[in-house]
Amino acid sequence: MFNFFKNKDEQNKEKSQNNSNFGILKNILSKTANSLVNSVTNSITGDKLVDEFELEDIETMLIKADLGVDLAVEVVNKIKDEKVKSSQLKEFLKKEFSEILDVDKEEDLKFDKNKLNIYFVVGVNGAGKTTLIGKLANKFKKDGNKVLLVAGDTFRAAAEEQLEIWSKRANVDILREDKADSASLAYRAIDLARKENYNVIIIDSAGRLQNKFNLIEELKKIKNVILRKLDDAILETILVLDGSQGQNGLSQALVFKEAVDITSIAITKLDGSSKGGIILSIAKNLKIPTKLIGTGEGIDDLAEFSKNDFINAIFD
């Protein structure tokens, strides 16, 4: 299921063998898939142009699936402008969604076993950062990597405590220090990793949006420290968004995008009231690939995002 530790041949073999990732995405997105496929595309048939009433239905469905109003209107206008026939609607939407998701050639989480891999995890409080870090740490650890967690949410002792619990669950090491400066903690973590041969560092961070200015300054500081010490290490800056928050996540995302250069998105809580369309909305508006999907509160509830699986889960 989790492919970024394996080479491409192994990945393809595994994908064709059990398609487990597809299964998960299909389950998570079933509500979206049902509403899109059953209510809309399946009811619009025939060798005629998609008519005004049908366009309205499509627009409503796209908005319900959480594509956001702007994107929904854009898609509907395209159906009209390009004179799409009812019988072609499904194929048209597949192609359209696929193009929207084409924001980056790098679909998988960056990882190089022979280098130091640094994952800097940001997002608002409650989005699911610490949980995601626990899940990621577990995956990396199981694959034989030496993993160090960094308790960079130094504002609240409870946040460090929570990361410590995850470090025990995943059986990995943690660097924490109450009331420490998060940037200097990151600095020390990278030094420690090089000295003690850790090849994976995952850095937690604060997410108090109430104090936006300070938060952004703090994240920038951490980011600058990482960049200064990057050398040949791999850096992936992951923005964690709560999928159940729908379009609200987008404006938050912009704040973080401004502060640090986000290279991938993790969407959590897509197991609850799933509205997978947010993934399209994010790709369209932010041009950042979604690479990870949180599918529950457990340590194994993590899936890699795959564009093709996503499209298939919606339409097949």
Ligand X SMILES: Nc1nc2c(ncn2[C@@H]2O[C@H](COP(=O)(O)OP(=O)(O)O)[C@@H](O)[C@H]2O)c(=O)[nH]1
Binding residues for Mg ion, rule: CB under 5 A, are 129-130, 159
Of residues 295, 304, 307, 310, which one binds ligand X by CB under 6 A? Answer: 295
Among Mg ion, ligand X, none, partner that 272 touches (CB below 5 to 8 angstroms by kind): ligand X
User: CB of 38 within 8 A of CB of 57?
Assistant: no
CB-CB contact of 2 with 304 (8 Å) = yes
Nearer to ligand X, 3 or 205 (CB): 205
* 8 A C-beta contact, residue 243 and residue 274: yes
Name which of 123 and 249 has its Cβ closer to ligand X: 123
125, 145, 184, 312: residue in contact with ligand X (rule CB under 6 A):
125
Residue with the shortest CB distance to Mg ion: 130
Among 35, 252, 268, 281, binds ligand X (CB under 6 A): 268
Site for ligand X in 76-95 (CB under 6 A): none
Q: What does 68 bind: ligand X, Mg ion, none (CB cut-off 5 to 8 Å by kind)?
A: none
CB of 242 vs Mg ion, minimal distance in Å? 12
- Selected from 40, 79, 128, 183, the binder of ligand X by CB under 6 A is 128
> Which range in 67-75, 124-132, 252-260, 276-284 contacts ligand X by CB under 6 A?
124-132
Output the smallest distance, CB 190 to ligand X, in A.
Answer: 22
Q: How far apart are CA 139 and CA 300, in angstroms?
A: 8
**131 makes contact with ligand X (CB under 6 A):** yes
**Of ligand X, Mg ion, none, which one does residue 298 interact with (CB within 5 to 8 Å by kind)?**
none
Closer CB to Mg ion, residue 161 or residue 217?
A: 161
Name the pairing type of β-strands 290-294 and 302-304: antiparallel
Nearer to ligand X by Cβ, of 107 and 271: the residue is: 271
Return the residue nearest ligand X (CB atom): 294
Q: What is the DSSP string of the chain?
A: ---TTS-HHHHHHHHHHH-HHHHHHHHHTHHHHIIIIIIIITT--SSSB--HHHHHHHHHHHHHTT--HHHHHHHHHHHHHTT-BGGGHHHHHHHHHHHHH-S-S--SPP--TTS-EEEEEE--TTSSHHHHHHHHHHHHHHTT--EEEE---TT-HHHHHHHHHHHHHHT-EEE--TT--HHHHHHHHHHHHHHHT--EEEE-----GGGHHHHHHHHHHHHHHHHHT-TT-EEEEEEEEEGGGTTHHHHHHHHHHHHS---EEEEE-TTSS--THHHHHHHHHH---EEEEE-SSSTT-EEE--HHHHHHHHH-
Q: Does residue number 207 form part of the binding site for ligand X (CB under 6 A)?
A: yes
Q: Does 269 bind ligand X (CB under 6 A)?
A: yes
Q: Which is nearer to ligand X, 68 or 207 (CB)?
A: 207
Mark 161-200 with x for binding to ligand X (rule: CB under 6 A) and - for no binding: -x--------------------------------------
**What's the CA gap between 298 and 170, in Å, rounded?**
11
> Which one of ligand X, Mg ion, none is in contact with 207 (Cβ closer than 5 to 8 A by kind)?
ligand X
Among residues 62, 72, 93, 129, the one that binds ligand X under rule CB under 6 A:
129
The residue type of 106 is E
Residues binding ligand X (CB under 6 A):
123, 125-131, 162, 207, 240, 268-269, 271-272, 294-297, 301
